[in-house]
Each structure stands twice: as C-alpha cells, then as structure tokens.
A = this chain, B = another copy of it.
C-alpha cells in the first residue's frame, strides 16, 4: 500500500461486486475505484500477502474487471476492429490477452477477451470505458450486435493451492483446464464460466460470477473448503505482478502509447490487415 493516502467517501457512484461485503469483512484496509467499482488495495501488508500467495491460496474480489458482452452475427468483426491481434483462430473455449487501439493505433485498454460462444464474447476490461468504443463503432456502421454490460464479476482463486481449492468445489476436471482456456462449472445450481487465468505468476482461476446474488454463499464455501490450505482474502500483488512482467493499464500503459511502445509487439499481427481500425496507423508507426 502507498505511503500517501487520503480519505474517500463511499458513494452511489461506486459499484460493489457480489463479494464486496465478505471481502470487506475479511479486513480490506483501503480501496481504489476501478471501472467505477471498488477494489481493495490490501489486507495485511504487501510483503505478507506477497509471500502468502507463493505458498498457499488466495481469493480475490476482482469484480472491478468488468465485462463487455458483445453478441450477434457481427460480434467477431466488431471485436477484431478494436485489436491488431488475429482472432481468427480463437477457439470457442479460449481467452486472449488483446491490446485494443483507436484509429491512431493508440491503446484504449488491454482486456482479456473471452470467447463465450461462436457469436458471443466477453471483453474483460482494465480501467477504461472500452464499451463506449464498441458502441461508437457499432452505431456508426449499424452492425448487427448487442453491446452491453452483462453484470458478470470475476472472482480470482490464485496461488499454488488454487487447483486443490477449485477441485474441491467443482471436481478434478478443473485440474486439466489449460492456460487461458475456460470450462463451465456449476455454482450452486447456476452454470458459470471458469478460466485458468489471473493477475499473478502463481496462476490459478478466474470464475466469471454471473449476477449480483449468491456471492456470500460461494465465498463462504471457498473459505470453508480452503481452511486447511490457509486460504485468505487477497488482491493482486503489485510486487508480484511487476516481477512477472504483467502490465497495468493507466500505470504502465497509457493512452498515448502504441502497443509497440507498450511492449506488446507479440500480440500484434502485422503481416496482414486482420480488420483492425488502427491498422493503417500501426503500420505507419
């Protein structure tokens, strides 16, 4: 946590995930607002949390990674317009980290794109209203898509015991889930999407929790099942993610950078135009 802090009133402008109450009760000491949603910045000390994450398992309320749902016949086309990464070979159960760019080739976000179905994507965003870019393009070109906030809130399970904890709730099948692939799991009667992903070097899962109710129950189930694994509430470790080379939009990546300047060359298909609106600008840069 930073040395310099201020006081922030909690207002109706700030959304809370379905896990906020439990995470707050677990001892969250301070908050940031990210995508208009509260995210805790720490529970004990940064050092303690860093070391605990390397040895046990943590549950993170990262509901601030809000989703944009893009669905319809033009969904794939619209998403491709926002990124130079080639989405053609993306499997139906795959997640892609994508730089998104404007018409000048400058970064607008760096989301994880989740292919939920053939014509249905979730764009799991970092901290900018990327939904307005998609709405602008869709309206201008009268694309056959719906662009909406599906009210889906990621909950991360991270650390070396993540497989043990997740398999306790959803069976040993989760152990076979490959990196950046997803599967459906049953969360107290409701099918939800579980991906092997997360903002740590230790890895684990992100559950795309669907809706605003039932968060307390799931949280309690995870903490009951994880008692012997020393499960704790956490948040992404700044030291850990920097050590792992994971970038943070608005910190490491700013809106005046191209993906190349952000070090994301490998995510850009530059051998041909894949349909990105920033293609001409990127090629010229």
Asked whether, in the complex, the Cβ of A31 is within 8 Å of the Cβ of B6, the reply is yes
Number of residues on chain A facing chain B (CB within 8 A):
45
Q: Are B277 and A139 in contact (CB under 8 A)?
A: yes
Quick one: which of B29, B103, B142, B278 contacts A7, CB cutoff 8 A?
B29
Contacting A250 at CB < 8 Å: which of B6, B13, B108, B147? B13
CB distance from A39 to the nearest CB of B (A): 11
The CA-CA distance from A100 to B138 in the complex, in Å, is 16
Distance from A7 Cβ to chain B, minimum over Cβ atoms (Å): 4
Check if B8 sits within 8 Å of A30, measured CB to CB: yes
Whole-angstrom CA separation of A141 from B141 in the bound complex: 8
Chain B residue numbers with a CB within 8 Å of A142 are: 103
Instruction: Decide if B8 touches A7 in the complex (CB within 8 Å).
Output: yes
Taking CB atoms, residues of chain B closer than 8 Å to A245 are none
28 interchain pairs, CB-CB under 8 A: A1-B9, A2-B10, A4-B9, A5-B7, A5-B8, A6-B7, A6-B8, A6-B31, A7-B7, A7-B30, A8-B33, A9-B32, A11-B32, A13-B250, A81-B140, A102-B139, A108-B132, A108-B135, A128-B129, A128-B132, A129-B129, A132-B132, A133-B135, A134-B136, A137-B139, A137-B140, A139-B278, A149-B255
